[in-house]
Amino acid sequence: MRIGLLFGSFNPLHYGHLIVARYWLNETNLEQIWLVVSPHNPHKAPEGLAPEKDRLEMAQLATEGDPSVRVSDIEFGLPRPSYTIATLRTLRAQEPSWQWVVLLGADAAKGLLTWKEGEKILQEWPIWVYPRRGAELAEVPQYPNVRFFPQAPRIDLSATQVRQYVREGRSIRYLVPPPVEAYIYAHDLYRTQPAA
């Protein structure tokens, strides 16, 4: 199996995530995309995060019925904060014959060398990078395992924007899948501004 791993807080999952996932499935030889829900990204403050079970549930609702996109909670059982290197080693130990490909936006990829054992990730795992606002592909570390996809759709939608719209009482229709929108309102998520 050849699996693409798209890591994120998914706070909440939105159409940008799904469009990028579909691009990889349509344009590469990946057999599945796994959306790896991170309970606590060490590069982000935990304030403003919806509970992990809610973020996981929204991702599952958004991808229900698509056998090529799987939602993974593997990091829920690993030490916190969630380090990508630990997740990759765990996956490799579980399925050593599978190929794991890390999928990153250029904004995240440009900081790879600051990640825990970032150089080891760059050396040992394929890293596929797509364009993102605020980062040029040229800023990404140049390693043999890094492959650039400049033709990938550049989606400037962000979870931050979705949360802001919810706080402001503005519509998020067409920004997130309908089950995610319904879940956000049913569980009263993102209504209040997190404490600074």
CATH code for the domain in which residue 153 is found? 3.40.50.620
Q: Give the mean pLDDT of 157-176.
A: 96
Q: Which pLDDT value is given to residue 48?
A: 79
152 within a domain of the structure (yes/no): yes
Q: Name the phi and psi angles at 144, rounded to 5.
A: -60, -30
CA atoms within 13 A of residue 138's CA, in its CB half-sphere = 0
pLDDT in tens, 30-59: 999 999 999 987 767 667 799 999 999 999
CA atoms within 13 A of residue 157's CA, in its CB half-sphere = 21
* Calculated CA dihedral for residues 119, 125, 128, 131, nearest 10 degrees: -20
45 within a domain of the structure (yes/no): yes
* Residue-number span of the structural domain to which 24 is assigned: 2-186
121 within a domain of the structure (yes/no): yes
195 within a domain of the structure (yes/no): no
Q: How many domains does the chain have?
A: 1
192 within a domain of the structure (yes/no): no
Q: Which pLDDT value is given to residue 191?
A: 87
Q: Which pLDDT value is given to residue 195?
A: 43
196 within a domain of the structure (yes/no): no
Q: Which pLDDT value is given to residue 29?
A: 96
Q: C-alpha angle 104/107/108, rounded to 5°?
A: 50
SS (H, E, C) 36-59: EECCCCCCCCCCCCCCHHHHHHHH
68 vs 150, which has greater pLDDT?
Answer: 68
